[in-house]
Amino acid sequence: MEFGSLLILFLATISGILAQYVQESELVINGTLPMSHTDANYICATIDWWPDDKCNYNHCPWGSASALNLDLSNPILTKAVQAFEHLRIRVGGSLQDQVVYNVGGFAGPCHPFLKMKGGLFGFTKGCLHSERWDELNHFFAKTGSLVTFGLNALYGRHHINKGVWGGKWNSSNARDFITYTVSKGYQIHSWEFGNELSGNGIGAMVHADQYGSDLIELRGIIDNLYREIRPKPLLVAPGGFFDKEWFAKLLKVSGSKIVDVMTLHLYNLGPGMDPNLVKKILDPHFLSRASITFGDLRQTIQTNGPWASSWVGESGGAYNSGGRHVSDTFVNSFWYLDQLAMAAKYHSEVYCRQSLIGGNYGLLNKTTFLPNPDYYSALLWHQLMGTGVLSVERKSCGPHLRTYAHCSKGKAGITLLLINLSNQTEFELKVHSILNMNLHPIKDKKLSFIHRMKSMFSWMGSKSTNKELAREEYHLTPQGGDLRSKTMLLNGVPLELTKTGDIPYLKPSIVDVNSPLTIAPLTIKFIQFPNFDASGCK
């Protein structure tokens, strides 16, 4: 390359650097009392029922990822689940209300789902063989999974009109299935009743008064079959989209302590084919709309069923199998981590990602089983974020910096999650305890060339000889700066399986606690402060 071209390139680089800003900001964290708590095993992922000929937008993204045909012997799958120690796995999805169980008195044919014009979601009923249920439970036991199983809530009902299903639930097949499960000693953490039958339903709906009555019957079945077993599985419902009136009526009809958990489904990014998916993910005002739903669910439970906790029972961001070349790339972690953190603030105790594998939104690639970027985001959350959710007061941050704090998991102090949605502003932060309110006025300033060049390599950190005077940083960036990269970098190092096929160790940078804390544009960072004054975390 000639000197003139090099000079032009250099000047263009300087121009791009100088066009960016540093925003000095401050965070005040209240570590004296958590504002809410999550379950210790907050991260959850779904194994769905969709067969390989489930297609959206002329693309069929599921492959062999169904509960009926997933290769449970794949070593990457096993290691990916085991990395969470006790990953919550929900077996469920749109087709669960068409699943019959080949156990007990079941006498019908036992076939997989087949495409059928006019069928619910375009498919026939599908059958779960007892042998396949045995295989699934062997996998769950081997990987230490905590299992939520979604039961068929349409069994025995009839279609009335316009998606409305009526009649009493026939509990016989589910009773036989739970009886078989108990007889084999399989550990089920919770039984969920139905999938997306609430409100107007998705494909089908059941009125709340009938649903509540059926839940009372299911509660009796569980209490009877587990009368000598502790702990007894939780009863989870309705596994659907939030409808305030419907949810409130369900709690009133079913009554005190019938339902243990109310589960919400949320796909706030819209359809997977939307060309504006990335724009939505990077829009802080759009992301914040989900807080209205979380808040309304919290209020509905407090008013009508305070004995119940709340879970996000299914959420994949974009519905209809997720966004192709979006949901399985780095940019999706801006949405995913923000959702995890926001839901936790509103007292959600568990968050189930659609899906563990399958669709465009799988945490694992459906063909290779290799982890997608969101898998590592989930694993970092699981390893770093404790159950105590802390309040964060922001000074001069602006909407594009998303800030969340939890008590640290398994160690003293707090862990901060920073998500920078801005494409041009770097934030330099001072972090204080609420006990130290001596905050200083802040002004925006243009980022100097030298400072910018230093900050480009800030992920490397400065090594501290005294770990008690250090913080741990986990800086997430996309490979090559491409937001749609399927490779995530942790502190500049690609996250890839080891040569032996193991999940890599997620190694932090050790940084002097007094060095500047920055978050570069369009990146994510977890920061663990071991000596932060947080009496509410002890």
> What is the C-alpha to C-alpha distance for residues 112 and 107, in angstroms, rounded to an integer?
15
Answer yes or no: are the C-beta atoms of 521 and 397 closer than 8 Å: no
Distance CA 276, CA 283 (A): 11
With beta carbons less than 8 A apart as the criterion, state whether 509 and 388 touch: no
Residue 127: CB atoms within 10 Å: 19
State which H helix or E strand residue 414 sits in: strand 414-420
Report the interhelical angle of 172-183 vs 208-225 (nearest 10°): 30
**Which residues are 511's β-sheet partners?**
471
The position carrying tokens 């060339």 is 449
Helix (H) / strand (E) containing 333: helix 332-345
Query: What is the SS3 assignment for 429?
Result: strand
- Report the candidate in 233, 267, 264, 266 with the shortest Cα–Cα distance to residue 250: 264
Tokens encoding 472: 């741990």
Phi, psi of 139 (to 5 degrees): -65, -45
Whole-number Å distance between alpha carbons of 296 and 242: 9
Token pair in block for residue 81: 């689940």
**Is 197 strand, coil or helix?**
coil
- Joined tokens for residue 68: 């009926």
Each residue of 221-241: b (16+ CB within 10 Å) or e? bbeebbeeeeeebbbbbbbbb
Of 530, 425, 420, the residue nearest 473 (C-alpha): 530
Q: What share of the chain is helix, strand, coil (3-state, %, to 5)?
A: 30, 30, 45
Active site residues: 196, 314
Instruction: Look up tokens 């120690």; give the residue.
Output: 85
User: Where does residue 201 fall: left (phi above 0), alpha (psi -120 to 50 degrees), or beta otherwise?
Assistant: left
CA nearest 312: which of 355, 344, 285, 282?
A: 344
